[in-house]
Structures are given as C-alpha cells and as structure tokens.
Amino acid sequence: MWIRTSATIISLTLLSFALRAAQSERSPDFRNFSYLWPGADGVPAQWNWLELPTSNSVLLVHGRHDFKVKSLNVPRSPYLLFDSESRGDLGSAAPKVAAVTLRYGTGGTANWSYLYVYELSENEPRLLGVLRSGSRADGGLIKATIKDHSLVLDFADAARKTADCCSDGFVRARYKWNGKRFNQTGSMEREDITDVGE
C-alpha cells in the first residue's frame, strides 16, 4: 500500500514538472521577440497610445536591437532594449496579458519607452496596444504593472522636473481594456517620486 501511494505521489510530481515545463516553452520570450515597430520620429514630450503598426518590425536578440544609421554625423546608433515585463489579467475581455516595456535610446541623452501589451493564449500573443512615453522627465515611463484588472502606469511628472533627466514627482494613470482599446479610468494621481511602487 505504501509503495503504491509513493509511486502515485512520484508520478504526480513528475507530471506537474512536465506540465510546468510545457507551459514555460509556450510562454513567449520577449527578450528574443519580433515587435511591430511604429518608428521614432522626434523626441516625445508626453505619453500617448499609438495606432497599431502593421508591417514594420524589429527583432530583439538577447534583449537588444541596434538600428543602422547611415549618417556619419551620428556618434552612436539608436538602440532598443528590453526593460521589463509585467503579467496579470485585465478581466474577462483579456484574462491573461503581458505588459512589456522597451527602452529606446537615441544614441544621445534622450530616451523613452514603448509599452507593448499582449494578450497571452495557447497560440501567438495578440498585440492589444502600444504606448509611447515621453522622454525622461517629460513623462518618461517609470513603471508598468497590472493590478485589479487595470493597467497601472507611472510616468515622470513634467510639472515637477528638476532637469531634463529628472523629476521630483510621478503621475499615475490607470487604463482598462474594453475589448477594442485602452481607456483611462478615474483621475490621475500625483505623488512624490519616492512613493513609486507603493
């Protein structure tokens, strides 16, 4: 009896490991992933949702993509870096999602973020939306989380910036997915920068 019970426990444990391994294999690796690319024209001074790009794409390999620049006057090429990933659910319209933040660097001091939100399923991830942040203190994306079926985004508060790079405060905006687009809910919250993540 004890041998049969032990064998059952071992079998269930091995099955559990196999299922977890299969799920991790199906889970997209956003560090090595092809992203639809809206382009980077000018330095943005605020955040906004973009029209979904349809054809142009960039491939991140080991969390990085370097753009080729033909101009000899540019000391360093622009690049795109994997920054962070947050997973959760946005309710019945999109139960499993990943919010992936990519950091775009111009090769100079200006940099900003692109937030890609994907619905996760057994098939390919479905892109729900792309948000471009402002650059650094002008509405740069500090943090993206998914909480209480909402996408919660913290941006550097341009009204409290101390230099082009820095701000003493952040603005928190919450977005809900309505099945077609992200809509802001409630009023924006303004807090001291030390309170980010609380």
From CA 182, how far away is CA 90, in angstroms rounded?
10
Note the pTM of the prediction, 2 decimals.
0.83
If you average pLDDT over residues 78-91, what whole number do you get?
A: 96
Query: Looking at the predicted structure, is the pLDDT value of residue 3 above 80?
Result: no
**pLDDT tens digits for range 12-57:** 344 444 334 334 446 899 999 999 999 888 999 999 999 987 789 9
To the nearest 10°, the Cα dihedral for 180, 57, 143, 166? -130
Which amino acid is it at 18? Answer: A
Residue 26 has a pLDDT of 60
**pLDDT tens digits for range 175-190:** 999 999 999 999 999 9
